[in-house]
């Protein structure tokens, strides 16, 4: 598809970027200030189960009488942190592999890209489940697993960029002047090839929020009683017959967060 060929959406480009960035910043501030803004403990019973919304409990309470707002705020903490860990791991593995593969070419490139292709032939979530099973369940392990799943596509993207950048005049000039190859890669190629990776990483933050929710929902991510959006959905899911509204706060939180990351990624692509 041609770049910038997307449908006109409301709000338009720049405003959309600002709105989504502002929303994400707001969520991040809430998450950081969780102990101050939560009002209640996220893990202790502080009212009757399934209490209605009230001044004391803005979003009511869950099946164990825990404050839903408090769990949402602490859950945002876990979910955002998890997403960052996954993307940092993915970029940390993918970028060096892509740099080496694209810069050296030849057999190194052929072998590394074959391995990346092999990784890409696993459905992402299933590979993440398998890696989590090996590492042992828990949020950190689950997110390292998701990062590993992300890394081959980052590596492929990075490699493609390096191949283009490598041919540029300033890179040739640097190598004519005898700069060592590591210096050329770090000083000249990386900064000029990283942009698409930054955009991709923004989309991956959204994907990672979804992955955290999925893995925690099936019991492999965040462990009880700590909240995350996935854990909240897991317990709300068991009580949909009694409290059908319980699935909305965490579900909407996930959807909005992912929407914001996607919108930010789209806008970055248009702006950069």
Partner 1 sequence: MKRMLIGRIAALIPTVLLASFIAFVLVQLAPGDASTILAGENATAERIEEIRRRLGFDRSLIEQYWTWLSHAARGDLGASVISQESIAAAIGRTLPITLHLVVGALMVAVTLGVIAGVASARRADTAIDAVIASFSSAGAAMPSFWLGLVLVSIFALRLDWLPATGFVSLAADPASALRHLVLPSIALGAVGAAEIARQLRGVLIEILASDHVRTLRAKGLAERRVVWVHALRGAAVPLLTIIGLQVSRLLGATVVVEAVFGIQGVGTLVVDAANNRDYYVVQGVVVVMAAIVILINFAVDVCYRISDPRIR
Max CA separation in the chain (angstroms):
74
1, 36, 55, 272: residue in contact with partner 1 (rule CB under 8 A): 1
Please check whether residue 261 is in contact with residue 209, taking contact to mean a CB–CB distance below 8 angstroms. yes
Output 189 or 246, the one with its CB closest to partner 1. 246
Nearest to 199 by CA among 120, 256, 264: 264
Only one residue has tokens 């828990």, namely 138
Burial zone of 169 (CB within 10 Å; 0-12 exposed, 13-18 middle, 19+ buried): exposed
**Contact between 218 and partner 1 (CB under 8 A)?**
yes
Q: How far apart are CA 185 and CA 73, in angstroms?
A: 42
For the bound state, the minimum distance from the C-beta of residue 183 to partner 1, rounded and expressed in Å, comes to 33
Residues 121-160 that bind partner 1 (CB under 8 A): 121-127, 129-134, 136-137
44, 54, 114, 180: residue in contact with partner 1 (rule CB under 8 A): 114
Q: Which stretch binds partner 1 (CB under 8 A): 63-71, 82-90, 109-117, 175-183?
A: 109-117
Q: How far apart are CA 106 and CA 103, in angstroms?
A: 9
Q: Which stretch binds partner 1 (CB under 8 A): 48-56, 61-69, 155-163, 250-258?
A: 250-258
The pattern of x and - marking residues 187 through 216 that bind partner 1 according to CB under 8 A reads -------------------x---x--xx--
**Contact between 263 and partner 1 (CB under 8 A)?**
yes
Output 36 or 241, the one with its CB closest to partner 1. 241
**Contact between 7 and partner 1 (CB under 8 A)?**
yes
Output 124 or 196, the one with its CB closest to partner 1. 124
Output 50 or 122, the one with its CB closest to partner 1. 122
Buried b (16+ CB within 10 A) or exposed e, 239-261: eeeebeebbebbbebbeebbebb
What angle (nearest 5°) sits at the alpha carbon of residue 257, between those of residues 8 and 271?
A: 40
What angle (nearest 5°) sits at the alpha carbon of residue 230, between those of residues 224 and 232?
A: 65
Site residues (CB under 8 A) for partner 1?
1-2, 5-10, 114-115, 117-119, 121-127, 129-134, 136-137, 206, 210, 213-214, 217-220, 233, 236-237, 240-241, 244, 247-248, 250-251, 254-256, 258-259, 262-263
């Amino acid at each position: 598809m041609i770049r910038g060929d997307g449908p006109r959406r409301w709000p338009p480009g720049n405003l959309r970027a600002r709105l989504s960035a502002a929303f994400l910043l707001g969520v991040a501030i809430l998450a950081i200030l969780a102990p101050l803004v939560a009002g209640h403990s996220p893990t202790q019973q502080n009212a009757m189960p399934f209490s209605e919304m009230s001044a004391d409990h803005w979003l009511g309470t869950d099946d164990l009488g825990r404050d839903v707002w408090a769990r949402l705020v602490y859950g945002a903490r876990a979910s955002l942190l998890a997403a960052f860990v996954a993307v940092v791991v993915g970029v940390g593995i993918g970028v060096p592999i892509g740099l080496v593969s694209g810069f050296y070419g030849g057999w190194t490139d052929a072998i590394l890209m074959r391995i990346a292709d092999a990784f890409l032939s696993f459905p992402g979530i299933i590979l993440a489940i398998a890696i989590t099973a090996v590492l042992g369940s828990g949020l950190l392990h689950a997110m390292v697993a998701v990062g590993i799943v992300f890394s081959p596509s980052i590596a492929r993207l990075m490699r493609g960029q390096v191949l283009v950048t490598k041919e540029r005049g300033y890179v040739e000039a640097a190598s004519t002047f005898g700069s060592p190859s590591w210096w050329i890669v770090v000083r000249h190629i990386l900064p000029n090839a990283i942009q698409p990776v930054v955009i991709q990483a923004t989309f991956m933050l959204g994907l990672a929020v979804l992955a955290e929710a999925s893995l925690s929902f099936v019991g492999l991510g965040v462990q009880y009683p700590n909240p995350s959006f996935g854990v909240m959905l897991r317990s709300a899911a068991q009580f949909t017959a009694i409290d059908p509204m319980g699935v909305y706060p965490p579900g909407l939180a996930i959807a909005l967060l992912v929407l914001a990351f996607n919108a930010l990624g789209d806008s970055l692509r248009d702006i950069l």
